[in-house]
């Protein structure tokens, strides 16, 4: 892995152009990495590709980079949304970091009947996504939204956006894991049957979806229940698995 630091910046990036770093980034380069003028840095802004740059100016806390050459031209990221019920803090952080590495473009925490975690700090999660995007060498940042109720989050999606609703249970409350009635088909089969250039994956909380939610989810024309196999996965495992399948069948891993 390259030892040259890679940073997300807001400035436009062009040949012989400059990019001003924020205070934390400037401190990281000059104090933590102890880099000085002339040191190489790689930058991206989600619009203009990735550039090789050099530290041009260090004045107190202000650090300015000068662009030298475009390293990679901007590439589009698949239009994949992850809707997930917030979990305990560390597990939510894990979901955001892995969704970023796996190429999700929008991360939407959703409040459901059984969601355990009350509040979600979108600004804190966005920072986790930014650091993961720098590390994973993405050319863009996933957007992390504030939490929304599941109905509103689904309503906000484009009407032609398939929602792959990860459903671990069958409909029979008296049977183990809901028995076989209403059990969802395998996700790979559903992806092949409902291909689309955009998509959304829905992952429930530790307690799963309520019976009412299950009925209302399946009543939506663009929602497709999918199974991730015969075992109950932790929500964070289910998120990684479902995104991996989508990327492999419909995304940019093909
Ligand atoms: N209700 C379960 C736990 C839910 S697991 C129980 O009784 O233990 C948390 C979420 O992960 C689920 O809501 C679902 O979205 C997803 N998930 C876990 N295992 C799954 C599977 N085998 N198939 C589809 N989704 C699964």
Whose CA is closest to atom 11 on ligand 1?
235
Tens digits of residue pLDDT in 179-224: 888 899 999 999 999 999 999 999 999 999 999 999 999 999 999 9
Distance 203 CA to ligand 1 centre (A): 7
Distance 177 CA to ligand 1 centre (A): 10
Distance 242 CA to ligand 1 centre (A): 11
Nearest-atom number in ligand 1 for the CA of 209 is: 13
Q: Which residue has the tokens 């196999």?
A: 229
Whose CA is closest to atom 26 on ligand 1?
168
Regions of the chain with pLDDT less than 70: 1-2
Structural domains in the chain, sorted by start: 6-72 (2.40.240.20), 79-249 (3.40.1280.10)
Whose CA is closest to atom 18 on ligand 1?
233
pLDDT of 118 reads 75
């Amino acid at each position: 892995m390259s030892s040259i630091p890679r940073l997300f910046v807001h400035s436009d990036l062009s040949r012989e152009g400059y990019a001003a770093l924020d205070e934390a980034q400037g401190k990281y380069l000059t104090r933590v990495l102890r880099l000085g003028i002339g040191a190489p840095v790689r930058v991206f802004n989600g619009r203009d590709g990735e550039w090789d740059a050099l530290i041009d100016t260090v004045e107190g806390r202000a650090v300015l980079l000068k662009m030298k050459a475009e390293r990679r031209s901007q590439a589009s990221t698949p239009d994949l949304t992850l809707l997930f019920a917030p979990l305990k803090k560390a597990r939510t952080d894990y979901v955001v970091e892995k969704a970023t590495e796996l190429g999700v473009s929008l991360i939407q925490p959703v409040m459901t009947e059984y969601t355990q975690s009350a509040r979600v700090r979108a600004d804190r999660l966005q920072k986790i996504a930014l650091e993961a995007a720098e590390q994973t060498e993405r050319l863009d940042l996933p957007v992390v939204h504030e939490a929304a109720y599941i109905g509103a989050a689904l309503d906000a999606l484009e009407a032609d956006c398939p929602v792959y609703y990860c459903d671990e249970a069958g409909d029979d409350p008296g049977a183990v894991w809901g028995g076989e009635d209403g059990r969802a088909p395998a996700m790979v089969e559903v992806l092949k049957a409902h291909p689309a250039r955009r998509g959304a994956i829905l992952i429930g909380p530790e307690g799963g979806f309520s019976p009412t939610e299950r009925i209302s989810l399946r009543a939506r024309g663009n929602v497709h229940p999918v199974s991730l196999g015969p075992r109950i996965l932790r929500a964070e495992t289910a998120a990684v698995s479902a995104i991996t399948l989508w990327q492999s069948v419909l995304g940019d891993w093909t």
